[in-house]
């Protein structure tokens, strides 16, 4: 005899929205929720399993038996099973044991909407709720009042488990509470505007780095409780730092306890393996054309913005979602109804996702990791775009690392690699990423790709970073890059913090602090970072000297900054350059300064312009270019 009491959080309106794929707050209805019926406290459970003939809640409260707590199926053919179990409360472990109509298959699954899970490798869902009191009112108000597209946006990408470890405590990762102290303090010191976490939703397999998710609505229990993760976000906000989450709607693992073959049918994944299986990652792909699946995914995005005050979502692997032939050979994919390779249902899903996110949270950002030339990724859906706020500029990343990896003697033949990005820089709202993907799998660290002896390696890295921070677009730098870590990133190990005992590494760290400060201080670097009139070449064709120079411009002409990059170890004691107007050049950053690890021997005092025509301009002046350096000037009247 069932001990489940009939109970529902759903109205007919909710069910209608769910069936239409338009219910974007499903986390308020499905999953496990505290409830009191007739004065008795307990938990309401609800799960979507339309192919089930019976769904039992099994847990530590019934000895994991599937003959005691049978949920009730709704009469409305929604496929939702639900009910109230008395005296089951916070901290109780549970799963759903599902007996399917399909060949009497039996599955035992975790709750897709669970707010917490056991610490891996254990897999049970945990009944959880908290009453965390946020203290970030000032931040949330400020977020509403500013436009993220014309403000500094500099992101520090972090893998929480390997940022720093406690060597004196079994080499363990820091907890959410410890990170709320140490990581927040560090990011503030480095003057980044935002931090981005690689996926923190619960995942079973450490080497996946979090990209194979089984618990979409739960922060991983590896580092603490959900309310402690909220504390971490809150502390960032209290220190005026935004938080972005890496979000993975592109695929999910086949683990037995996860979403795959959930109720004995292909419920969340597409039943056609050509659309439902990812050959690269050996994982399943969501069925973007199924309404209830769309509601699940969009509700998940909204959940993190709503319940955790997240400031942005970086959406992983968008290219793999929007192309039917992504990583597939001829015959392994089927064209869409118009004969093309676009996955129309996935494209519609992404548009709907962005419309709902920006409709409900207009002050956040969605950022697409998209590596193709698919048009209008970061343009509004009203003009045919996908609706993202920003897109990673993968071409800039690839071309820049390729260029800087060459010995300076060969760079004059490859200057187009460096300047090509400006031919398409304003086709999207681009973010310049030097992410985790560039420092793993034998690719070497960023500093490890730089040519030359130790001094030249660090000088090259200083030029690369200075070029990155003065190039149009917002910025992203993966942890360790900010101090020139030599070793590739390994999720099992802490960053090599000990290298900060050495001057070159301390110099890189100081340069990043100063570049972030410069980015924040000068409107020319952010007011028009996505607009073509915010950038102007002075000279991109000095191949012989491997020098490029350009202007960054803000709303006011007087805000302009002039940037000159010398890509060789040969100093240019007298280098004439055209300037936009009469005035005095004042050096505001020189990557060759001693505090950065440079020579400190080539400093421009105030430089007066003259009327010699140069670079097609009426005014010019002679400046000194240090070896392997970026020099940034203001022009004062």
pLDDT digits (tens, 9 = 90+) for 33-67: 999 999 999 999 999 999 999 999 999 999 999 98
Provide the pLDDT confidence category of residue 2 given band limits of 50, 70 and 90: low
Over residues 253-259, the mean pLDDT reads 97
Buried b (16+ CB within 10 A) or exposed e, 463-488: bbbbbbbbbbbbbbbbbbbbbbbeeb
Measured at the alpha carbon of residue 157, what is the angle toward residues 153 and 161, in degrees to the nearest 5?
150
Sort 381 into a burial class: Cβ within 10 Å, 0-12 / 13-18 / 19+: middle
Contact residues for 612 (Cβ-Cβ < 8 A; gap 6+) = 576, 619, 620
**Is 102 contained in some domain?**
yes
**Is 498 contained in some domain?**
no
Over residues 184-210, the mean pLDDT reads 97
| DSSP annotation string for 584-605 | EEEEEEETTSGGGTS-------
Q: Which two tokens stand for residue 65?
A: 């038996």
**Is 42 contained in some domain?**
yes
3-state secondary structure of 373: coil
Over residues 511-520, the mean pLDDT reads 98
pLDDT surpassing 90 at residue 483: yes
pLDDT value for 171: 86
Nearest to 634 by CA among 482, 487, 472, 523: 523
**Is 480 contained in some domain?**
no
DSSP 379: S
Q: Which of 66, 157, 316, 370 is catalytic?
A: 316
Averaged pLDDT of the chain: 96
| DSSP annotation string for 518-559 | HHHH-GGGTTTTTSGGGEEEEEEEETTTTEEEEEE--SSGGG
Nearest to 447 by CA among 405, 409, 507, 395: 405
Contact residues for 60 (Cβ-Cβ < 8 A; gap 6+) = 92, 93, 94, 124
**Is 625 contained in some domain?**
no
Distance CA 531, CA 294 (A): 34
Q: Which two tokens stand for residue 237?
A: 């906000």
Distance CA 627, CA 569 (A): 4
Q: What is the CA radius of gyration of the chain?
A: 27
For the question of residue 438 being annotated catalytic, the response is: no
C-beta separation of 307 from 227 below 8 A: no
C-beta separation of 558 from 623 below 8 A: no
Tell me the percentage of the chain whose pLDDT exceeds 70.
Answer: 100
Provide the pLDDT confidence category of residue 243 given band limits of 50, 70 and 90: very high
How many domains does the chain fold into? 1
Q: Which two tokens stand for residue 7?
A: 């109970």
Over residues 98-112, the mean pLDDT reads 97
Nearest to 354 by CA among 370, 341, 342: 370
**Is 81 contained in some domain?**
yes
In this structure, the strands spanning 194-197 and 561-566 are: unpaired
* Domain hosting residue 95, numbered range: 12-109
C-beta separation of 472 from 535 below 8 A: yes
Over residues 229-250, the mean pLDDT reads 98
Distance CA 250, CA 226 (A): 24
3-state secondary structure of 580: coil
Q: Which two tokens stand for residue 115?
A: 């707010």
Contact residues for 277 (Cβ-Cβ < 8 A; gap 6+) = 269, 283, 284, 285
pLDDT surpassing 80 at residue 205: yes
Distance CA 498, CA 90 (A): 42
Distance CA 356, CA 365 (A): 12
pLDDT value for 1: 41
Q: Which of 228, 369, 482, 593 is catalytic?
A: 369
The H or E element spanning position 563 is strand 561-566
Sort 608 into a burial class: Cβ within 10 Å, 0-12 / 13-18 / 19+: exposed
Q: How many CA atoms lie within 13 A of 404 on its CB side?
A: 29
For the question of residue 234 being annotated catalytic, the response is: no
DSSP 332: S
**Is 505 contained in some domain?**
no
Q: Which two tokens stand for residue 436?
A: 């985790």
CATH code, domain with 86 = 2.60.40.10
Sort 577 into a burial class: Cβ within 10 Å, 0-12 / 13-18 / 19+: buried
Distance CA 614, CA 319 (A): 44
Nearest to 521 by CA among 487, 491, 554: 554
**Is 517 contained in some domain?**
no
Distance CA 31, CA 73 (A): 15
pLDDT value for 224: 97
Measured at the alpha carbon of residue 467, what is the angle toward residues 547 and 631, in degrees to the nearest 5?
60
Over residues 607-617, the mean pLDDT reads 95
In this structure, the strands spanning 561-566 and 607-608 are: unpaired
């Amino acid at each position: 005899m069932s001990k489940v009491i009939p109970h529902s959080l759903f109205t007919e309106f909710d069910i209608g929205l769910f069936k239409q794929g338009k219910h974007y707050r499903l986390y308020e209805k499905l999953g496990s929720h505290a409830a009191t019926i007739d004065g008795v406290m307990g938990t309401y459970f609800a799960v979507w399993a339309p192919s089930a003939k019976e769904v039992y809640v099994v847990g530590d409260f019934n000895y994991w038996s599937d003959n005691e707590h049978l949920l009730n199926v709704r009469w409305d053919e929604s496929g939702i099973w639900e009910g109230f179990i008395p005296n089951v409360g916070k901290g109780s472990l549970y799963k759903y044991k599902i007996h399917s109509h399909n060949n009497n298959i039996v599955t035992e699954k975790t709750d897709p909407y669970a707010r917490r899970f056991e610490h891996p490798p254990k897999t049970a869902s945990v009944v959880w709720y908290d009453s965390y009191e946020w203290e970030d009112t000032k931040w949330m108000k400020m977020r509403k009042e500013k436009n993220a597209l014309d403000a500094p946006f500099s992101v520090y990408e972090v893998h929480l488990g390997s940022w720093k470890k406690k060597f004196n405590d079994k080499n363990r990762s820091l907890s959410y509470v410890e990170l709320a102290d140490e990581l927040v303090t560090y990011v503030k010191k480095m003057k980044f505007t935002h931090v981005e976490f690689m996926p923190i939703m619960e995942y079973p397999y450490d080497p996946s780095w979090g990209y194979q998710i089984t618990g979409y609505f739960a922060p991983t229990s590896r580092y603490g409780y959900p309310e402690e993760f909220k504390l971490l976000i809150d502390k960032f906000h209290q220190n005026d730092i935004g938080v972005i989450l890496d979000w993975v709607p592109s695929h999910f693992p086949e683990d037995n306890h996860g979403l795959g073959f959930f109720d004995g049918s292909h419920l969340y994944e597409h039943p056609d393996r050509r659309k439902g299986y990812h050959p690269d990652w050996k994982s399943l792909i969501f069925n973007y054309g199924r309404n209830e699946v769309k509601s699940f995914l969009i509700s998940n995005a909204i959940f993190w913005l709503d319940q955790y005050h997240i400031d942005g979502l970086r959406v992983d692997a968008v290219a793999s979602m929007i192309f039917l032939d992504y990583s597939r050979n001829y015959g392994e994919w089927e064209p869409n109804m118009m004969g093309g390779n676009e996955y129309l249902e996935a494209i519609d899903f992404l548009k709907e996702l962005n419309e709902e996110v920006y409709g409900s949270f207009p002050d956040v950002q969605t950022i697409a990791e998209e590596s193709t030339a698919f048009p209008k990724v970061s343009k509004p859906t009203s003009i045919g775009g996908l609706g993202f706020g920003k897109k990673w500029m993968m071409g800039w990343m690839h071309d820049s690392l390729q260029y800087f990896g060459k010995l300076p003697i060969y760079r004059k033949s490859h200057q187009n690699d460096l300047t090509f990005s400006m031919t398409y820089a304003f086709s999207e709202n681009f973010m310049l990423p030097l992410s985790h993907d560039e420092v793993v799998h034998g690719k070497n660290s960023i500093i490890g790709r730089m040519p030359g002896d130790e001094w030249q390696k660090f000088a090259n890295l200083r030029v690369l970073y200075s070029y990155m921070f003065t190039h149009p677009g917002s910025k992203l730098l993966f942890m360790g890059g900010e101090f020139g870590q030599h070793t590739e990133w390994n999720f099992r190990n802490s960053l090599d913090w000990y290298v900060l005992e050495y001057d070159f590494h301390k110099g890189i760290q100081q340069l990043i602090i100063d570049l972030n400060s410069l980015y924040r201080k000068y409107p020319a670097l952010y007011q028009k970072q996505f607009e073509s009139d915010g950038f102007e070449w002075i000279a991109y064709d000095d191949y012989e000297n491997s020098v490029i120079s350009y202007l960054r411009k803000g709303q006011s002409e007087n805000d302009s900054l002039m940037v000159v990059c010398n890509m060789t170890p040969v100093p240019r004691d007298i280098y004439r350059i055209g300037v936009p107007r009469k005035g005095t050049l004042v050096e505001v950053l020189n990557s060759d300064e001693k505090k950065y690890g440079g020579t400190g021997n080539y400093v421009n005092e105030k430089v007066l312009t003259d009327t010699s025509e140069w670079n097609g301009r009426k005014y010019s002046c002679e400046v000194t270019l240090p070896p392997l350096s970026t020099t940034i000037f203001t022009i004062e009247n």
